[in-house]
Amino acid sequence: MEEHNRSSASVVRLPEVEQWRPPLPRNLGSSDRSIFVRHYKDLRYEPREKISSPLSQFYSVGIGLRSTQFSARINGKTIPDQQPHPGALYINEPSCSLRTVFYKPAESVVLLVPVSLLIELGEECEGYHCPPDLLLRTIVAGQDRTLHTLTEALIQEDTNCPGGQLYLDTLGTAIVFYLLNHYSTIAPASQAHPFMVPGDKRIQRAQEYIDAHLKHPISLIDLAHVAGLSRMYFAAEFRRTTGLRPHEYLLRQRVNRAKHLLVTSDLSLTAIAPMVGFENAGHLCTVFKRFVGESPVRWRHLQ
């Protein structure tokens, strides 16, 4: 059996603090695969400002554990007062400048995820080279109960128990894949994130690609890449939008192109087959009859 070497993260829990984004070890390299996790808790009611220093090699992912109230400035842009509930999600890009004023008690888990780890796991997840702008979208006070549950487990697990650190590392790896699937720039749009490209536009790009490349081999990976989606999400979205699986749609388009050539030219089936992406005339005849109910020769005669 072929052995697959899967990438994984290493989770490092830092001490609980009252600082929103803690400093990291100075000798940390850009290729480090550690996810730093810190439990932040400040139960004061008076207003207090938290200033976060930019981190050039990390995404900061915060998950709120209790209801609170705050205002913020992100890269100079003012975020009006927010009153998030447990499960609130915050994703800040590397080198992000963040100033936050809390007005009520606050408690959250902050994950510092290396850019290099996101790229490495993203390539493994998608099956092709991830573009530099893959990574994660900025989210302010979103809501994600799944991440809430996973991050609570990160801070509650006893690493002194047998398998404790392995469990943490597995959770950390799962969280990175979850972030890539739901919050990367190639993840599918949802009602919670209307700024993503609408699904019909993405599918339309794939359809246009099919029409322009009918005579060439076209794979699911090709179409997903054109649409800017993972293969799994693209296949589901394509079927939801068109009512057809991608491969079935491709075959129908090839048959339609063959029908056009049958009635507008005197070309033989041997000549038409490679022009519309079939290996030979026999392959064309088999697929044509399955979709049309007649052989190409008889169908041409009836026109």
pLDDT tens by residue, 210-252: 988 998 998 888 888 888 888 777 887 787 777 778 888 899 8
Inside any domain, residue 3? no
- Is 70 exceeded by the pLDDT of residue 179? yes
Same domain, 207 and 178: no
Same domain, 72 and 162: yes
- Is 80 exceeded by the pLDDT of residue 128? no
Same domain, 48 and 98: yes
Same domain, 114 and 254: no
What band does 164 get if pLDDT is binned at 50, 70 and 90? Answer: low
Same domain, 140 and 212: no
Measured distance CA(226)–CA(217) in Å, rounded: 15
Same domain, 48 and 91: yes
Q: Specify the amino acid at residue 33.
A: R
Inside any domain, residue 24? yes
Inside any domain, residue 5? no
Same domain, 140 and 255: no
The alpha-carbon radius of gyration of the chain (Å, integer) is: 26
Q: What is the residue-averaged pLDDT of the chain?
A: 77
20 CB neighbour count, 10 Å cutoff = 24
Domains held by the chain: number: 3
pLDDT of 81: 77
Inside any domain, residue 237? yes
CA terminus-to-terminus distance, the chain: 54
- C-alpha distance from residue 296 to each of 34, 138, 251, 253 (Å): 60, 53, 15, 15
**How confident is the model over 261-287, as pLDDT tens digits?**
998 889 999 999 999 999 999 999 999
Closest CA to 55 of 68, 38, 42: 38
**Which residues, at least 6 apart from 259, have a Cβ–Cβ distance to it below 8 Å?**
292, 299
Determine the number of helices (DSSP H) and then strands (DSSP E) in the chain: 10, 10
Same domain, 27 and 93: yes
What band does 7 get if pLDDT is binned at 50, 70 and 90? Answer: low
Same domain, 84 and 99: yes
- Please calculate the CA angle 274-277-282 and round it to the nearest 5 degrees: 65
Where is 285: in which H helix or E strand?
helix 281-292
Inside any domain, residue 1? no
**What is the mean predicted confidence (pLDDT) over 100-119?**
86
Structural domain that includes position 219: 199-243
Percent of the chain with pLDDT over 70: 77
Query: Which range, of 18-32, 42-56, 215-229, 264-278, averages the lowest pLDDT?
Result: 18-32
**What is the mean predicted confidence (pLDDT) over 59-82?**
82
Highest mean pLDDT among 12-21, 31-40, 91-100, 260-269: 260-269
H runs (alpha helix) in 93-161: 115-126, 145-156
Assign residue 266 the CATH number of its domain: 1.10.10.60
